Amino acid sequence: MKKLVFIALTALLAVACCRNKDCGCKSCGCGEACSCAETKCCMANTDSAVVVKTIMARRSVRQYKAEPVRRDQMDVILQCGINAPSAMNRQPWALRVADNPEFLNACTQTWKETLPEERQAEIAADSTFRNMFRNAPTVVFIGAPENWGDLDCGLLGENMMLAAQSMGIGTCCLGGLLSFMKTEAAAPYMQQIALPEGYRLVYAIAFGYPDESPEAKPRDASVIQYLQ
């Protein structure tokens, strides 16, 4: 089903390209005449298809290979993030990257100690469990000023996740950790994260080389309506 949706979207993009009357060619090579420069039109069609394919292929990954994401790759991902739009271009986000196993493991150990014994036993019995960050070797913590900036940080995060997907890197949004990171037990780790004064942690994103290939979950297209 997901493949059929992607094929349909690609076809729509091709038709939209060929119906562009403002760029000047005889044909885009997709079966219809148009009035745009051939190479420009076909390049736009190809680029659009790549973007759509990246969006449609992205999944939340919860099992990763042990090695952290290379920092040169993370630098590209982070640059894509901070190039997201923000209200009045205020860029309210603060990003902290953790790829140090000692930090991630220590934070996880403290978190486990706050859990009920039954939950600790479940984790101990789980051979796939590595850390509380969905087992990721690299985590980006995202902060924003008190009482605003959440939408901007969401746009930043989506940019980073799609950039990562295009590079073969898996991701997973982490909102559930907030309840722990706000506790006194987590204070030493928040001090290490060192968000600017007046900022709070909004969420985090796990990054890593995927060690699983999750299937797409169904999407409810009925929520989309065009106004008459």
- Give the domain extent around 38: 2-57
**Structural domains in the chain (count):** 2
pLDDT tens for the chain, 228 residues long, are 545 544 444 444 444 444 444 444 443 444 444 444 444 444 455 777 899 999 999 999 999 999 999 999 999 999 999 999 999 999 999 999 999 999 999 999 999 999 999 999 999 999 999 999 999 999 999 999 999 999 999 999 999 999 999 999 999 999 999 999 999 999 999 999 999 999 999 999 999 999 999 999 999 999 999 999
Residue 181 belongs to some domain of the structure: yes
Written as one string, the DSSP assignment of the chain is: -HHHHHHHHHHHHHHHHHT--SSB-SB-SSSSB-SB-HHHHHHHHHHHHHHHHHHHH--B---B-SSPPPHHHHHHHHHHHHTS--GGG----EEEEE--HHHHHHHHHHHHHTS-HHHHHHHHH-TT---TTTT-SEEEEEEEETTS-HHHHHHHHHHHHHHHHHTT-EEEEE-TTHHHHTSGGGHHHHHHH-PPTTEEEEEEEEEE-BS--PPPPP--GGG-----
Query: Is the pTM here over 0.85, yes or no?
Result: no
- CATH code: domain of residue 121: 3.40.109.10
185 and 86 housed in the same domain: yes
Give yes or no: residues 115 and 159 share one domain. yes
217 inside domain: no
- Let me know if residue 216 belongs to a domain: no
Domain identity same for 34 and 77: no
**Residue 135 and residue 104 in one domain:** yes
